Structure 1
């Protein structure tokens, strides 16, 4: 008999965040493995995934929490005073969070037709609303797999991401309950399981590794952005540039490369494609100074980014300067699938470096300009001599694909 999996997920809109892209890829690959799937999502709009029943969870309205959340929102709009930090200090979470989790729990509890063998909760960002909702449904705890995509709460992030949130004690209590109540936990990376297990020891007993998945998308007829020139040596960073991901050392290395290789001013590009709220001002100023630098600091359709990653010379993964990075970037499977060389800027201890291998050629700390310059120089010279090899990592494609995924779920105790 096929395993029946009920997925409770925050969003299945692939264009709203990298977390949603990763969640949809996981759902689709589980369906491709032959599991019987049903998806309850809190996207709050109708979205369907091919051949997978998807039910949109409505927001509960005209209840006490809903009215409190809307009153708070109107107060903030009118007075410009944000009450949320104070409310979270008292209650741990916002009124909106409580109403959202009640909405999710209520709708999941109603469903009777689909009798799952496993209930998988997926979230994005620092929300974990489906996980909080499942805590309310004790009858499902012995079937529950809590997917932990990032550290939580924020004071358990590695530096420089860590900070003390309002309501940190209640958030910690919430996640300890998740670690104790869920029969299974899943993590996109081995390092993240170990990291979270150092704070919540039950994760070490219940945790399995389910990496972000390769998405099977047909990009053959996708129009590429006009700023991309396929005839040039193109380095691409696609995705959100968070505050802690500093692109300036990379740009400085590229600028020095242009000085030493003046011909590269005519046949190379460095592209930053995606939101960059904290770095946009610097990037746009540098774009004026360096004609071969493109800063397209806005959202692009997922398919367009995938197509671009497949066509460029080199894909860049930029992580923050830190002692460790237990995260598996959501775009890592896309870069592996694109099969272009990856220029990795990460700490020595990082999940991406662990997967690419200790001897991977194009790795550097994020602030090592000399090493970055050397990698750009080497990649450019190989491109010029038509000797730039594809990534060609069948082992990673297998690890990020259906075979490993199916085996992991079929072997659950």
Structure 2
């Protein structure tokens, strides 16, 4: 059986990385700058960093290595400017696994010894960090980090990058406390509890930023207890709105989501965000064109069962109704169900355009085109002659003679032109 290969140049690199991290043996196949098996130390170390960089950017092109010193400065800037690269615990575990296996595969004993020393120092730093956490009252968090498949992975990988950069560049790199803190807040949000949130926020100098990071973590981990604590603590209505906006736009939200179930049960279906937009969860969910329509159907209909008046309620920015959003997103099955439940086929947005006219205007956009046109045709068939006039499918003078067949023919003609 051939060994799994980790190819950084494939577009599907993110899934390849995740699978490779679980394998017993990994062969790293990459087009990096090490031209000989025992190239200069700096080039080899740079190549390890490039592996890390390619991992956290999901296979994007690495930094050129013709001039290592110059390239290292570019890499250092890239790492500093993208602190979010290390925010996801699962991601950093995979990256750290790659780093460890890269070291294991290094044939040059001197290089291997040097790299292992870097990694050993990193592990010692993690132990010190966990001791500090315990002294600061975050005893649960120290145990929490150990639950990850690679204990202390987030802190370790951050330290690994810092150490490698130090060896490859003469620049003094200051410790990024914000990076470490963001890792902790993500972990607390994903796996923690309300008490840990309170302890962490009490020690933070930027509570709003930490809350946002904890919120990301608890939504990704579907940690409803932490979400509920943050939600109840949000005194301002528009802050609650921001929470709901984020909870409803996550692409992995499913009908089994505990967070979304909590929101529905609380009947918090309408909200206003901090930028002043009034909207509702039905609209936000239907604006996600990448969602699984079957799963989305159950969630949206459960909301409409709870509050049927939402079906024709428009958001305040573009005055788009749920039906308009369903058509734009190409959700034909949901469009049909909305019409059955009484959605207004004549509804217009701020530009006085109904769903059919909007679909015609989007004819040049290939994404979801067939599904969007299918949904628009359902609205067209449910509409009356005045709606056909508003959609630009028939002139006012000719509307009395218009038929469903004639306006469908005109619709097909317009989207094909």
For normalisation by structure 1, the TM-score amounts to 0.26
Q: Which has the higher contact order (CA 8 A, sep 6+)?
A: 1
More strand by share: 1
